[in-house]
């Protein structure tokens, strides 16, 4: 069975994005329909490849047959698959069993114009097309194509029509492959030995005692760390503000029973006119991480002391790394809710089984039986 126009349009639109690449220049789509509907269909055409001029000539001759029916060709100066996509709803009005859709044909107009057995006519006001006549109609508006074809078919039932163009001119957007730009807002520190790693997805925000809004510290001027007897590690970050002053943050970690714990965070600034020295900032979250794990517990880590607030986003720290972060410790206990649920259900089933076994063990058998050769057991009414 020959597929109808709707199925051909659906098939063509599925490969539209692939066809657009090959439909530039003199390769244009061709829609061929009409006739008595009894002609055998051509061989299947792969929509991903361009149909050559010779192959299209064979397809057209097979469609026309030996009877040389009237041929009506709608021509556009520029015709691409985008035009078909944009006008698919209107072109669906064309229904014919012998419809052929070729998404990319090499110079189809040269094939139509070289039909020696046809008389070429170029008139936009034709009322009918006779046999052995080829009529070229300028299709400035695709909405009128179904109407013109319907009116022509009334006088010529075996009319064959085609819709194509002389070229395909469109601006194709090129995909440029570029290297990913570095994220200048992130904060990352890696010691020379690769042992201490510090990361935050954004530079820290700080709110001073006299400020109303948070200010982002964008310039990290110095970062260092010191390891004291493998027990205490001090990580220092020095930021430079726009006014030239320096803000120093010292993270004091101590190894206790296999856990690195942040004891305190010392904050100081060179612009402190009162010379109050270092200020200890504390966090509500307990920053503690097992050895060989990286700390990454919350999206925002806040340190404060009165009106001074320091905010880190996606903070991740590891003090015994080997050049890269290890497994993350997200402050989730090893006994999670599903584990507790399994233990609870197992305990209930165990209690039911123990109760059942106890009931079975408490069953007692008879210890007295009736002897058929001896005296029968008689139970009086008083007993």
Same domain, 90 and 213: no
How much of the chain exceeds pLDDT 70, in percent? 78
Q: Which residue has the higher pLDDT, 14 or 94?
A: 94
Cβ atoms within 10 Å, residue 136: 20
What pLDDT band is residue 343 in, cutting at 50, 70 and 90? very high
Same domain, 221 and 141: no
Looking at 136, 167, 198, which one is the last position of a domain? 167
- Mean pLDDT over residues 247-266, rounded? 85
Flag whether the pTM goes above 0.85.
Answer: no
- Minimal CA–CA distance to 198: which of 261, 256, 247, 251? 251
Contacts of residue 58, Cβ cutoff 8 Å, sequence gap at least 6? 42
**Tokens of residue 246, six digits:** 């320096």
Q: What is the pLDDT of residues 184-228, one digit of tens each?
A: 578 887 776 667 888 888 888 888 877 778 888 888 877 777 766
Q: Is 196 left (phi over 0), alpha (psi -120 to 50) or beta?
A: beta
Q: How many domains does the chain have?
A: 2
Q: Which residue has the higher pLDDT, 45 or 181?
A: 45
What pLDDT band is residue 170 in, cutting at 50, 70 and 90? low
Residues 129 and 74: beta-carbon distance below 8 Å: no
Same domain, 50 and 191: no
Contacts of residue 163, Cβ cutoff 8 Å, sequence gap at least 6? 30, 31, 73, 74, 79, 91, 139, 142, 145
Q: Which residue has the higher pLDDT, 97 or 230?
A: 230
Q: Is the pLDDT of residue 142 over 70?
A: yes
DSSP state of 204: -
Q: What is the pLDDT of residues 105-140, one digit of tens each?
A: 888 888 888 888 888 888 767 778 888 888 888 888
Same domain, 13 and 143: yes
Q: What is the pLDDT of residues 21-78, one digit of tens each?
A: 443 446 888 888 887 654 444 455 555 668 888 888 888 888 888 888 888 898 888 8
Same domain, 119 and 195: no
Q: Which residues pair with 328 in a beta bridge?
A: 294
Same domain, 157 and 284: no
Same domain, 193 and 314: yes
Same domain, 199 and 238: yes
- Give the residue numbers spanning the domain of 112: 5-167
């Amino acid at each position: 069975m020959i597929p109808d126009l709707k199925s051909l349009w659906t098939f063509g639109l599925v490969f539209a994005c692939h066809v657009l690449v090959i439909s530039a220049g003199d390769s244009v789509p061709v829609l061929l329909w009409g006739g008595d509907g009894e002609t055998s269909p051509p061989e299947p055409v792969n929509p991903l490849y361009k149909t050559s001029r010779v192959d299209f000539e064979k397809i057209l001759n097979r469609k026309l047959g030996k009877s040389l029916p009237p041929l009506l060709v709608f021509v556009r100066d520029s015709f691409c698959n985008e035009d078909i996509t944009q006008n698919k709803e209107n072109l669906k009005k064309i229904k014919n069993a012998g419809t052929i859709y070729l998404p990319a044909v090499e110079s189809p107009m040269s094939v139509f114009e070289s039909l020696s057995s046809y008389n070429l006519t170029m008139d936009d006001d034709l009322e009918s097309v006779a046999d052995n006549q080829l009529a070229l109609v300028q299709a400035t508006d695709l909405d009128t194509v179904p109407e013109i074809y319907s009116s022509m078919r009334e006088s010529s039932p075996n009319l064959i029509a085609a819709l194509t163009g002389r070229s395909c001119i469109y601006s194709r957007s090129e995909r440029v492959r570029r290297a990913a730009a570095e994220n200048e807002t992130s904060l990352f520190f890696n010691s020379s030995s690769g042992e201490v790693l510090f990361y935050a997805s954004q530079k820290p925000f700080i709110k001073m005692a006299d400020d109303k809004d948070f200010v982002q510290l964008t310039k990290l001027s110095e970062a260092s760390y010191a390891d004291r007897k493998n027990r205490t590690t001090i990580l220092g970050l020095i930021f430079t503000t726009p006014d030239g002053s320096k803000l120093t943050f010292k993270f004091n970690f101590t190894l206790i029973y296999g856990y690195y714990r942040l004891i305190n965070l010392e904050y100081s600034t060179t612009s402190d006119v009162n010379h109050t020295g270092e200020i200890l900032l504390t966090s509500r979250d307990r920053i503690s991480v097992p050895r060989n794990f990286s700390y990454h517990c919350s999206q925002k880590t806040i340190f404060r002391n009165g009106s001074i607030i320091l905010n880190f986003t996606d903070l991740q720290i590891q003090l015994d790394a080997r050049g890269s972060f290890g497994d993350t410790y997200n402050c989730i206990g090893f006994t999670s809710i599903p584990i507790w649920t399994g233990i609870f259900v197992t305990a209930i089933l165990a209690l039911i089984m123990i109760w059942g076994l106890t009931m079975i063990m408490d069953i007692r058998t008879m210890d007295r039986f009736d002897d058929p050769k001896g005296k029968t057991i008689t139970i009086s009414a008083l007993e």
